[in-house]
Amino acid sequence: MLAGVRATAAEGTTFTVHNPATGEVVAVVAEAGQEDVDRAVAAARRAQDAWALCGPSDRGAVLARLADLIEAEAEALALLETTDNGLPVAETRGMAAGAAAILRYYAGAADKLLGQTMPNDAGGLLLTLREPLGVAALITAWNAPLVLAALKAAPALVAGNAVLIKPSELAPRTTLRFAELAHAAGVPAGCLSVLTGGGAVGAALVRHPDVAKVSFTGSTSTGIAIAREAAATLKRVTLELGGKSAAVVFEDADLERIGEVAPGAAFGMAGQDCCARSRLLVQRSVYDEVLERYVARTNRLIVGDPLDPATDIGPLISAAHRDRVDACVREGVAEGAIVLTGGAPPAHLDGSAGWYAPTVLDGVHPGMRVAREELFGPVVSVLPFTDEDEAVRLANATPYGLSGSIWTRDVGRAVRVSRRIRSGVLAVNSNTSVYLQAPFGGTKLSGLGREYGLAALEENTELKTLFLAGTA
């Protein structure tokens, strides 16, 4: 899609998009090739200079109008996303509202790109400026395509960059509509294009010498490959990758509340969430009580038709992905894990789709794959600990460091433990560690750079130092 207009690929190739809940084909979409990438990058370069010269309030006003248009189409966008990726409509309605909120935040941040002035001994004025990078390639994941398009495009655009969005081929339709609405809101032709297709399209963008920045959300293995390729042209890179986050429960926590709300942090989006608390670490003195409450709440979750507002968990993105998740669970059981609930596709649902019951595994030890690797499915591994030192050791015993929760009434303990856990974001007595106003990103194999907040503006700008002499 160039200039807000859907077009056929230069080579005429297409691919199909399937509804994960039914398997039916819901769209036939153009598959971009190298010629399409070259054309989109060239258009972005031509358009970016003029866009950067617009006043920041003008760029912010465009984003505000786009937020209005998304709110006006929120229900249609939610239904479109649900039939693309299988998330329950209750969740995709929240995604549409979230996308609009992101755009409004960055519309208001348009004039918040601040530089500094610094004292100096040369008698002049020493200051810094924030300038756009140029053309940014934004590669998004299928689990939240609308939110990710807004999250990556808004700070890049408001900072004066042009953007090329490459959505996942599994769920591209809300991104295509996002681009149409962006141009209706006033984003200039060439400043926002969408290139649909598989990994080859993303690779072509990463290699392109005229792309200055790559922002990617997805698997760690793909993120590492992008970083290697981007190094050849020293592109700026922001990588939001995998996670194996822990919910750490101490004996003094509100156990009733944990039992009621903590499963939501693991099974929302059917566990296909990089921030999912897929490990539950519980102090031994309250282990049995927490586990009983947690399993009871998990058993009340409704797995079913994602178009039903009462549904809590829809299908995984595909039956093939469901089978990978199931194979990991079976491997864990073979190693000694005990299935307390779930552990298989629900018997009442179509086995040809990606359905999988929310699963809780006891008897897990830290070296198991189910305890260390991201399964990206509705599976929680439960491990006991004795004291703070063991809790921290277990929380850090994965190659990831994205998110997590600490549950305790002891403020001192909350401070001590949060400072020792290696994670980009954490929450205390809450499932939520991602906030629009605050930087978000990971450590270790969970990624590089930060999104959200004013930090995202910095990630999309170049810092220039300027000295103005005090004498002519």
Sign of CA dihedral 34, 9, 167, 455: positive
Closest CA to 350 of 16, 17, 23: 23
Contacts of 463 (CB under 8 A, 6+ apart): 128, 129, 130
For tokens 């947690």, the residue is 294
Residue 57's CB: how many other CB atoms inside 10 A? 10
In one letter, which amino acid is 169? Answer: E
Whole-angstrom distance, CA of residue 310 vs CA of residue 429: 26
Q: Is 240 a catalytic residue?
A: yes
Name the one residue in this structure whose structure tokens are 């972005």: 44
Angle at 184 between CA 181 and CA 186, to 5 degrees: 115
**β-strand 359-362 against 338-341: which pairing, if any?**
antiparallel
Question: Phi-psi region for residue 255, left (φ > 0), alpha (ψ -120 to 50) or beta?
Answer: alpha
Instruction: Please tell me the distance from the alpha carbon of residue 170 to that of residue 189, in angstroms, as a whole number.
Output: 26
Q: Looking at 273-385, which runs of residues are DSSP E strands?
A: 279-283, 338-341, 359-362, 379-385
Total residues belonging to the chain:
472
| Contact in structure between 205 and 37 (CB atoms under 8 Å) | yes
Helical (H) or strand (E) element with 228: helix 220-231
What is the β-pairing status of strands 246-249 and 279-283? parallel
CA-closest candidate to residue 166, choices 200, 209, 207: 200
Of 73, 169, 240, 451, which is the active-site residue? 240
The catalytic residue positions are: 240
